[in-house]
A and B are shown apart, each in its own frame.
Chain A
């Protein structure tokens, strides 16, 4: 199983790498690093390092971005008529599913992980009075948030893409879903007692960045596991629409 999963993972990575000509892929990656690793930390300054709420960016960004990868990996493969050929091999349903899921998550996570040192460097170069460095727990926390956020997004991506009519359809549904993940909590926040709301705002503004990051990672993991279970149940030969 592990070897098959690795084969699918490598296949997905290879397809992602060769999705456009080499320089387009490279320039897209550089643009992503420049914006998320350079521009955003430059705009936020010190807050990028010690602002507890920044963990929310680390959750939302990979969750949003990974959906495009998994939509292409599942709905795109069906659209390109390569999924059925893959299903007609000896690979198990699980190896294909986990390979695709992990490919999306690791792709985005690696890009986010690269943004961490670049962001730290940017803040220290643009803000006086440094050095500004996150604690080890905080750095590990935001990376965990990026992984679990990406994991949740990728799992949702697989579930939606399996039934979607096209890649575009899958991406539209997923984009709305990710948007709702932001808007719904904001709406719920307004319905909560004022004391609770203030407590939350206080935690996001002045709480421990490391604790908040790890708490958020745990929450995303809790949300992601049932979605993964649904993906596992549905991603079976005989249940996947082939055309």
Chain B
């Protein structure tokens, strides 16, 4: 665990504004060995995180990985057992009110007051964040128009679909122009079309508002589409962090797709025995080939032509975040399975 630098003006590392603590920083959230124990369960295990300012940061993990707990700790809703964190330059243990003042949230559930109308919901949170009446009204209209819910502004929220509620909750999180928003699985339980609507709204709003987004999800495709950087956690422990394509490349072997005539079972068996090949998977009119380290594709192509395959296409396959994360989880699970 890297120890935070404690200076005369406090811990200088994660400052959203860059000047409040005297030490300019491009980091919105920083944690050092953040640990939280529930009775009998370690929810967070020495978590070290660094979230760049202005990024959409994906916090990935399975159910029960500690994503929501991390979010609660960062917002000062629960106190960590050990470790330290800075959110926009403030310590959640002692200065959580400053964090909550400058953050917007959409937690696991939308948290909308369902008996109230859309406009009333936004107005209430605008009042909570001390926006003057005229600003509240203008901001509510602006956000509702942007997410396409202005026509429904006088309707009580309780009759709305989950997708509409999530979009309204994102608008609520942005009402006071926060520097950072926390979104806890914003598309969970949505149908694909609604999820896509939420994602588009989120991307559009985040870009326009220039806000840092801390997004927890277990939807890897979503994280790949939305996030600049991701962190993968398992049982409260950080497994890996980086850009989505970096994670994909880091934990998966390079792959090529070969297509053409003559990919019989015999050819696939011969292919699998080559030293350049790690694994072969049959596909329609061809195969997906995982390459061994330092493999040369040209020698493989020569081999295929030599054994009579009518090659039509050889193309590299990019490693997706999903491939990387699944591979990472498999590697992590292996010792557990072996021990079991």
Contact = CB atoms under 8 A, between A and B. Distances in A.
Interface of A: 4, 7, 11, 14-15, 18-19, 80-82, 84-92, 237-238, 242
Nearest to B117: A18
A87 B76 CA distance: 9
A90 B127 contact: no
Most buried by B among A86, A89, A92: A89
B116 A81 contact: no
B105 A18 contact: no
Contacts of A7: 124, 127-128
Given A84-B107, A89-B128, 18 more contacts: A7-B124, A7-B128, A14-B124, A15-B116, A81-B110, A84-B111, A85-B107, A85-B109, A88-B100, A88-B103, A89-B100, A90-B101, A90-B128, A90-B129, A92-B97, A237-B77, A237-B96, A238-B76
Contacts of B127: 7
Contact of B77 (A4, A14, A84): A84
Contacts of A84: 77, 107, 109, 111
Interface of chain A, helix or strand or loop or mixed? loop
B122 to A, nearest CB: 13
A11 B124 contact: yes
Contacts of B129: 89-90
B261 interface: no
B114 A80 contact: yes
B105 A85 contact: yes
B273 interface: no
B113 interface: yes
B4 interface: no
Contact of B120 (A14, A88, A90, A237): A14
Interface string B74-110: 0111110000000000000000110011010101111
A238 B124 contact: no
Nearest to B156: A18
B32 interface: no
A90 B76 CA distance: 11
Interface of B: 72, 75-79, 96-97, 100-101, 103, 105, 107-116, 120, 124-125, 127-129, 156, 182
Nearest to A243: B108
Given A7-B127, A7-B128, A81-B111, A88 B75 contact: yes
Most buried by A among B77, B110, B156: B77
Contacts of A91: 128
Contacts of A88: 75, 77, 100, 103, 105, 107, 182
Contacts of A92: 97
Given A7-B128, A88-B100, A242 B111 contact: no
Most buried by B among A11, A15, A85: A85
24 contacts: A14-B116, A14-B120, A14-B124, A18-B116, A80-B114, A81-B107, A81-B111, A82-B109, A82-B111, A84-B107, A85-B107, A86-B111, A87-B77, A88-B75, A88-B77, A88-B103, A88-B105, A89-B100, A90-B100, A90-B101, A90-B128, A91-B128, A237-B96, A242-B72
A15 B113 CA distance: 8
Contacts of B76: 237-238
Nearest to B75: A88
Nearest to B100: A90
Nearest to A17: B115
A15 B116 CA distance: 7
A238 B128 contact: no
B109 A81 contact: yes
Contacts of A82: 109, 111-113
Given A11-B124, A89-B125, A90-B97, A238 B79 contact: yes
A7 B129 CA distance: 10
A186 to B, nearest CB: 40
Contacts of B111: 81-82, 84-86
A33 to B, nearest CB: 23
Contacts of B120: 14
- Which 4 residue pairs across A and B have the least CB separation, nearest first? A85-B111, A81-B109, A90-B101, A18-B115
